[in-house]
Amino acid sequence: MRKKTTTPRTRRLAATAVALGSFLALASPAGTAGAAPADPVPTVFYGDSYTANFGIAPVNNQDNERGWCFQATENYPAVATRRLADNGITLDVQSDVSCGGALVEHFWKEQEMLGGGTVPAQQDALKEDTQLVVGGMGGNTLGFTSILKQCSAKLRGNEGALLPGEPVDPDKPAGECREFFASEDGKAWLDYQFQRVEGDLEEMFQRMSYFAPDAERVLVGYPRLVPKDTTKCLTAAPGQTELPFADIPKNALPLLDQVQQRLDEVMKKTAADDGADFVDLYDHTGNNTACDGANRGIGGLLEDSQLEFGQPIPWYAHPNDKGRDIQAEHVATKIEQILNR
């Protein structure tokens, strides 16, 4: 367990000491800006498949290892950047290193790609003049795909081949996943995973502060997947034959929502404790879940996405175009608020 520091400033001091192996004096924080900057804002986007917007085509970097990040050319960082430009705010995007499958630790460690090769640690994109760092991580470190596989027999087979992770306990039937996660072993696993997410996010924020000391840091949460009324999940979306959550038992759907809500709270708290900003998508997407039919902002678990790999690749419960636009809207709004305060 990492020892928690009490304020953002002491965390930045600790991060600097760890990185350099000695105690160094830091410059005083810059004054608060009164208006959005007239000059382009040097910006780095980071994150996992929800920032890369897995499932939306076309994909960037198809001729190299980064193609396996499945980073959409029109992901929410690209759309949000255009929205801001329309409002007179220009981002100088130094890099977008968001990558499908990324754990929080891949912010400071290289990531192995499904197709072979590696991509560098995402922190390598930060520069001393970076003023804005935006993205989202946490779901893969939590092991959300392992939870999905614990609850879905279909995802344990070939239909989940591109989805990282294994079921938490493959000896337990998928239909009993709700009982498993309420039991001693399943509950202990979840508690440990949440502690890991919190600790890794703390380290990520400290590293951001060290490598880009003047940057505003933004953590973007995840959109809501399961609605409050889970009976909506018993009807396939228009034009679809699979249910939104395929064969996951109806009694397990509230469990998925509870896990996601708890993750949202951990991310929000960790960001606040370290003086970073948080974009709470969960609280704004309750009417655009995977079970909201034509209004869904999330592609169904086994619904065909826009990607093909010899055959169509499922969305695996990632934002579709509508969901991507909702992400972009809220991220752009947060960035504008930050740059105008």
Question: Which residue, 129, 293, 328, 107, is CA-closest to 223?
Answer: 328
Strand order in the sheet with 132-136: 91-96, 41-47, 132-136, 216-220, 277-279
Give the three-class secondary structure for 338: helix
Residues with catalytic roles: 49, 101, 140, 318
Among the residue ranges 15-19, 47-51, 56-60, 200-204, the one predicted with the least confidence is 15-19
Q: What is the mean pLDDT of residues 39-52?
A: 98
Give dist(CA 248, CA 44) in Å, integer. 37
The larger pLDDT score, comparing residue 10 to residue 155, is at 155
Which residues are within 8 A (CB) of 72 and not within 5 positions of it... i.e. 6 or more apart?
A: 52, 53, 54, 55, 56, 57, 58, 59, 60, 78, 324
Length of the chain: 341
> Is residue 31 predicted with pLDDT exceeding 70?
no
pTM of the model: 0.90
Is 237 in contact with 289 (CB distance < 8 Å)? no
Give the three-class secondary structure for 314: strand
- N-terminal to C-terminal alpha carbon distance within the chain: 35
What's the pLDDT at 260? 98
At 271-311, the pLDDT tens digits run: 999 999 999 999 999 999 999 999 999 999 999 999 998 88
Which residues are within 8 A (CB) of 28 and not within 5 positions of it... i.e. 6 or more apart?
A: none
Considering Cα of 171, then 174, then 178, then 181, what sign does the dihedral take? Answer: positive
Is 142 in contact with 197 (CB distance < 8 Å)? yes
